[in-house]
Amino acid sequence: MKLPLFFPNPTYVLKLPRRGALPLAEVCALADVACRATGRWTERLVIMDSDEKLPQGAVWAEPGGGTVRVVVPAAYRRSACARARYALGVLAYVLFDLVSRESIRGKDWAAIRTPVGRPRAARALSSAERQRRFRLRRQPA
């Protein structure tokens, strides 16, 4: 399952409980990706929770690269691997954690899911092109 386009905004708190926290290197192992860093950066603690009251997920973080609590949405709770991948996506794209970002770089599941209904285009149409297409639609058949 690919990562969502929009993640919840983080809430910064002074202290988070560390019960059930895993080091970032273990979260990478759960997500079946190689942790592309060494040292203290891989020891950042991550708590992956489930909460029925927060169906879209939530993120709490200690400032300065401390512990992070991620509430995983229901769509990603099927397996430990999906939960870990969502948590890595939150760390990479919400908190801009370089270890997470580098670890998931190039993975097909890490590509942001594009919203349904909008056609893919390299660039926006010009006003002249939009007008030309409008006139073609309005012509009687």
126 pLDDT tier (thresholds 50, 70, 90) = confident
The residue extents of the domains of the chain are 10-116
pLDDT-derived band of residue 119, with 50, 70 and 90 as boundaries?
A: low
Instruction: Please report, for residues 78, 101, 103, the alpha-carbon distance to residue 34 in angstroms, rounded to integers and kept in the order given.
Output: 22, 12, 6
CA neighbor of 25 nearest in space, from 110, 102, 99: 99
Mean pLDDT (the chain, rounded): 88
Helices (H) and strands (E) in the chain, counts: 4, 5
Alpha-carbon distance of 32 to 81, in angstroms, equals 7
State the SS3 of 112-139. ECCCCCCCCCCCCCCHHHHHHHHHHHHC
